[in-house]
Amino acid sequence: MKNYQLQEKQFQTSDPIENYFECIINCDIRDGRCISRCVEILKQNDN
């Protein structure tokens, strides 16, 4: 997932862990920013 498309993506489930894995599945393994953004989304859902 490039160009921070994940910011716009609406996840269908309410489980933060499942959302995290769905997010990283859509990232290029070499795109550290994408993966970092998924971690930030997970942290935000933890609050």
**Residues in Cβ contact with 17 at an 8 Å cutoff, skipping those fewer than 6 apart:** 42
Is the CB of residue 11 less than 8 Å from the CB of residue 22? yes
Q: How far is residue 47's CA from residue 33's CA, in Å, rounded to a whole number?
A: 22
pLDDT, tens digit, for every residue of 1-47? 444 455 445 545 578 899 899 999 999 989 999 999 999 989 987 76
Structural domain boundaries in the chain = 13-46
Q: pLDDT value at position 44? A: 87
Model's pTM, two decimal places?
Answer: 0.63
Q: How far is residue 46's CA from residue 33's CA, in Å, rounded to a whole number?
A: 20
Q: How far is residue 23's CA from residue 6's CA, in Å, rounded to a whole number?
A: 7
